[in-house]
Amino acid sequence: MALDRLLAPVIKDAIDFDIQLKPYQHFVLDNQVEVYTYEGGAEEVMLMDMVFFAGNTYEQKNWVAAATNFLLKNGTTQKNAFEINEAFEFYGAHLSRNCYNETATIALHCLTKYFKEVIPVVGELIAEANFPDKELMIYQQNLIQRLSLNLKKGDFIANRLIDEYLFGIDHPYGKYALEQDYKNVNKEDLHRFYDTYYKQGKCIIFMAGKFPGNMQELLNNHIGQLPLNKKEIPAVMHPIVSATQKKYSVINDAESVQGSIRIARHFPNRHHPDFAPTQVLNNIFGGFFGSRLMRNIREDKGYTYGIHSYLQNHVQSCAWMISTDAGKDVCKPTMEEVYKEMKKLREELVDIEELKLVKNYMLGGLLGDLDGPFQIIGRWKTYILNDLNEEYFYKTIDIVRAIQPEELKALAEKYLKTEDFYELVVY
Amino acid sequence: MIQFEKFELANGLKVIVHQDSSTPMAVVNVLYNVGAKDEDPKKTGFAHLFEHLMFGGSVNIPVYDEPLQRAGGENNAYTTNDLTNYYCQIPAENIETAFWLESDRMLSLAFSEKSLEVQRKVVCEEFKEHYINKPYGDAWHKMRELAYTKHPYRWMTIGASLAHVEDAKMQDVKDFFFQFYRPNNAILVVTGNVTTAQVKQLAEKWFGPIEAGKLYQRNLPVEPVQQKSRSMDVRADVPLDMLMMTWHMGGRMDARYHATDLLTDVIGGGATSRLYEQLIKVKQIFSSIDCYHFGAVEPGLVVIEGKLVKGVTMSVAEKAVMDEIELIKNTLMPMNEVQKVINKTESLICFEDMSIMNRAHSLAFYELLGDANLMNQELEKYQLVTPEILQQTAQEIFQDNQRNTLYYYSKS
């Protein structure tokens, strides 16, 4: 029998998949630091992700949180920066740090067999960092240079400005560093921040991969004896001060051949009942390669290499963002098309086949996103840091499975109103 | 150790299966043995433009993405100077959808004029976003033309100029497809929750009926050995001066490949590398500096590039780099420095092999090099590198007459 290539193979709908979030293990170190683990995977590798409540929410002076996070690896009372790096790299281990708004992390990726060699150095960084003047000076100088380079890029400027319009320049989500901010920070600022938010700060540990047999003991010996969890996290509340003007056009480079477009509005955080269903609406709108924005503006009109919309993942308050770089001469029509797509979602019911496709895509993607120990612990980390539990996971899946076009239209009417959006083009 | 099985269909399509039943997913990866190096010098950027067109509908299926997304899958592709690779990740239960889609676009594209017109524009925007509207975005175009006089690594995958992409014609598209996108010029790799028997049956069913093409005989111009160093000055509206130097290295199957890889790591791979420690931290001549290499199939380049600290002159920066290079050439490296870069590489390999996606990419790439099992011998080859071999490799590569230098000055 000849093969009929017009006939698609039978598929199992992803909405019928049994998607499980595998449970974590949990234990507490002697100093009350909580540890969440997920053991698994075929390779002899592991991840230890230490979360401190040391984001820029807690800094008194711009850039202190980020600088402390970066420089705590550049000197301790026992080792200089080179020796610290060498202590990790010799064993092929990688220690990265990242500073966010609420939290800052120190993450160790290493071969299982070398965990015992590198964990003492991690402990040393949390207990004995000493922020040498020279390290701060070099970091400031190099960052100022990097900033001068970034300020040439329209997309960099656009990302900063749109957050400033939404949240205000004094809010952790809206602020950014200028050259003067880098210069203003001194060693004492770093020490003070470090003592409060790292050395004695609140810490939660997430681990995944293959563990050595004595992992708990090693962790307890090298982290569990440190004076962590001594300070309460201060209750800070930064008011959101949004710009009153909604539309902006900025010329950064007169020779630019493209414009960086950002269109955004406020959106509630994960705890709001609209958050999960809006993820479905967002996917239809601009959340993946087959979204309406991509099909219309890239695949039909060729105005851009890519256009995306997404819900930011802030803890306190989020934004719904549309982001693209488009040819200079087609920026205006690009924005018009974005608003047309919003209008269509407000006025017309989403086709049932299109909705089914998006549901399957989302749930199939979720199955893939949970594939592997690092991915599983990453999901748990997001939940734990946002005060959510596995009920949220299953409820979200149920919402995706069940949502109907009428509900999506109601959400679009509520949130995709043109007049609510901030609009920015940087040329 | 990545276990796999290998077989070949009558039409010449090579198939590799790696089973991992711990995942609910599967990856279907199709590598075509064609890259930017196979392009006509007057029609560059074509392999990459073509990759975009592969999503514009095939002979029996008007849109590639939708059926895949409906089956819970996602996909992407990339083009390099050496190859074009397409891959999708999909719940294993729906794997046949991927076979249906991939085999139909290997059978024939729809060759839609509209798709060509739109993707020409999309690629032009990609060109602008990455190579024009970006500080130093043209540096690699210039460096490739400086370092290569004959070999097609002279141009980047995006194309030598926007005009080449804008001029692409439908007849070019068809010729390119039927020359390169044939089963006997491709490697199919399936990883994840599948069995070999299942893949065999599906491959025969969907790919088996596709006719083989005329075998492509690659006959690339050979780059003559560089006799004299070359350099070029660029002045542009960038905030910082940049120094970029390259030297020629062997191809991916060269006996010195693993030593070269480790050597670049010692010189400029991360915070304990020599250039970072000496030139950023101790002497504060550069604000950023890296050493890396192409990792390409054909003879590639070893690269050192860095941005100068404001106020430092280009000649001081250049001399500082060359002093480090001389040191590497003239003194034997301590054993623990070699051990460090071997350990880093071991770690990198283990982390890379974690996902069925990366395993699929690697199996396809090593099969392209001649044998998928080379993947399992890599670590051993790195472990055999000694300080003596590294020194010899440095002496072979870092010859002054083989150097190409781009002095990229800030106008301001």
- pLDDT tens-digit profile of A110-152? 999 999 999 999 999 999 999 999 999 999 999 999 999 999 9
Tell me whether residue A5 is in a domain: no
Query: What does the pLDDT read at residue B130?
Result: 86
CA B354 to chain centre: 20
B240 contacts A148? CB cut-off 8 A: yes
Same domain assignment for residues B202 and B295? no
For residue A1, is pLDDT > 70? no
A-chain residues near B271 (CB < 8 A):
81-82, 85, 89
State what percent of residues in chain A have pLDDT above 90: 89
Tell me whether residue A397 is in a domain: yes
Domain boundary among B206, B238, B265: B206
Within 10 angstroms of residue B355's Cβ, the number of other Cβ atoms is: 24
Q: What is the 3-state secondary structure (H, E, C) of chain B?
A: CCCCEEEECCCCCEEEEEECCCCCEEEEEEEECCCHHHCCCCCCCHHHHHHHHCCCCECCCCCCHHHHHHCCCEEEEEECCCCEEEEEEEEHHHHHHHHHHHHHHHHCECCCHHHHHHHHHHHHHHHHHHHHCCCCCCHHHHHHHHHCCCCHHHCCCCCCCHHHHHCCCHHHHHHHHHHHCCHHHEEEEEEECCCHHHHHHHHHHHCCCCCCCCCCCCCCCCCCCCCCCEEEEEEECCCCCEEEEEEECCCCCCCCHHHHHHHHHHHHCCCCCHHHHHHHHHCCCEEEEEEEECCCCCCCEEEEEEEECCCCCHHHHHHHHHHHHHHHHHCCCCHHHHHHHHHHHHHHHHHHCCCHHHHHHHHHHHHHHCCHHHHHHHHHHHHCCCHHHHHHHHHHHCCHHHEEEEEEEECC
Range of the domain at A213: 25-222
A-chain residues near B125 (CB < 8 A):
258, 302-305, 325-327
Q: Rounding to the nearest 10 degrees, give the CA dihedral for residues B368, B369, B372, B375.
A: -130
Q: B265: nearest CA in chain A? A: A89
B21 touches chain A (CB under 8 A): no
Spans in chain B with pLDDT lower than 50? none
Same domain assignment for residues B69 and B122? yes
Q: Residue B134 belongs to a domain with what CATH number?
A: 3.30.830.10
Q: Residue A354 belongs to a domain with what CATH number?
A: 3.30.830.10
Q: How many domains does one find in chain B?
A: 2
What pTM does this model have?
0.93
- Give the model's confidence band at A234: pLDDT under 50 very low, under 70 low, under 90 confident, else very high: confident
Tell me whether residue B121 is in a domain: yes
Same domain assignment for residues B249 and B154? no
Q: How many domains does one find in chain A?
A: 2
A298 contacts B310? CB cut-off 8 A: no
In chain B, residues 53-92 whose CB comes closer than 8 Å to chain A: 59-61, 65-67, 69-74, 89-91
Query: What does the pLDDT read at residue B124?
Result: 86
Closest by CA to A283, choosing from A384, A386, A357, A377, is A357
B344 contacts A89? CB cut-off 8 A: yes
Distance from the A210 Cα atom to the nearest Cα atom in chain B, whole angstroms: 12
- Give the model's confidence band at A16: pLDDT under 50 very low, under 70 low, under 90 confident, else very high: confident
B-chain residues near A111 (CB < 8 A):
343, 346-347, 350
Same domain assignment for residues A146 and A252? no
d(CA B73, CA B169): 32
pLDDT tens sequence across B261-309: 999 999 999 899 999 999 999 999 999 999 999 999 999 999 999 999 9
In chain A, residues 149-178 whose CB comes closer than 8 Å to chain B: 149, 151-154
Tell me whether residue A228 is in a domain: no
Same domain assignment for residues A307 and A408? yes
Same domain assignment for residues B201 and B238? no
d(CA B262, CA B356): 26
Tell me whether residue A331 is in a domain: yes
In chain B, residues 331-350 whose CB comes closer than 8 Å to chain A: 336, 339-340, 343-348, 350
For residue A177, is pLDDT > 90? yes
Tell me whether residue A239 is in a domain: no
d(CA A70, CA A73): 7
Same domain assignment for residues B198 and B243? no
pLDDT tens sequence across A296-308: 999 899 999 999 9
| A45, A89, A367: residue with CB nearest B350 | A45
Q: Answer left, alpha or beta for residue B219, where phi above 0 means left and psi between -120 and 50 means alpha.
A: beta
Which of A134, A145, A296 to substitute to test the interface with B, most B CBs within 10 Å? Answer: A145
Same domain assignment for residues A289 and A420? yes
Q: What is the mean pLDDT of chain A?
A: 95
Tell me whether residue A231 is in a domain: no
Tell me whether residue B163 is in a domain: yes
For residue A158, is pLDDT > 80? yes
A326 contacts B121? CB cut-off 8 A: no
B122 contacts A298? CB cut-off 8 A: yes
Same domain assignment for residues A162 and A311? no
Query: What does the pLDDT read at residue A368?
Result: 85
In chain B, residues 139-198 whose CB comes closer than 8 Å to chain A: none
Same domain assignment for residues A31 and A126? yes
A364 contacts B91? CB cut-off 8 A: yes
d(CA A320, CA A412): 12
State what percent of residues in chain A have pLDDT above 70: 100
Range of the domain at B118: 5-206
